[in-house]
A and B are shown apart, each in its own frame.
Chain A
Amino acid sequence: DQQVKQNSPSLSVQEGRISILNCDYTNSMFDYFLWYKKYPAEGPTFLISISSIKDKNEDGRFTVFLNKSAKHLSLHIVPSQPGDSAVYFCAARKDYGQNFVFGPGTRLSVLP
């Protein structure tokens, strides 16, 4: 039973447009959420995070929105660039420690 879901395995977007990646979770005890980006043959790299006490966090072109009542978060990338093409993982912290539960990932392709 996946506690963190990313229902879109892939997404294609034109360069310069907005990319929206979605993530849903089932465990209301999750209190911290992160997005990771992963290129082929590399490890995941941290992108942006949000605490459950906030509903939005921005860092340059990247914004994460959290809707606790819907147990839904999204990552917005504006404007999208070809270098953003990667697999994006949504992750949630469990049990207050440093353990994370990951979603299956969404492959983003930004077309020039």
Chain B
Amino acid sequence: NAGVTQTPKFQVLKTGQSMTLQCAQDMNHEYMSWYRQDPGMGLRLIHYSVGAGITDQGEVPNGYNVSRSTTEDFPLRLLSAAPSQTSVYFCASSWGSGTMNTEAFFGQGTRLTVV
């Protein structure tokens, strides 16, 4: 099993450009999420999905869009990149739902720089 796979690993964008960060998991997990990591701030939740066709906003959703058409894939779209979106982005998945005590599995991350 590959686990959670993110592409690309690195990306440089110009301000105003759009792009999609890809995330795929092969563990048949229902729950998937996107976090961003900034220095001194830990990981912050951007968007999440509890299953195909269902998405919701996390703590820092502005400037990002998501969709979940399949169980495996959960892409994150930057609509119009801004320097404040320079960060490391992590996709995660977990098999649990509701009150189940389970951990999240993370991808290797995408380091995005917006100039």
Contact = CB atoms under 8 A, between A and B. Distances in A.
A4 B44 CA distance: 11
A51 B101 CA distance: 8
Interface string B28-52: 0001010100001111110010100
Interface in A57-96: 89, 91, 93, 96
Nearest to A48: B103
Interface residues of B, number: 29
Interface residues of A, number: 28
Interface stretch (B13-21, B60-68, B71-79, B91-99): B91-99
A42 B109 contact: yes
B99 A44 contact: no
Interface of B: 4, 31, 33, 35, 40-45, 48, 50, 58, 90, 92, 94, 96-99, 101-109
Interface of A: 2, 4, 9, 31-32, 34, 36, 41-46, 49, 51, 89, 91, 93, 96-105
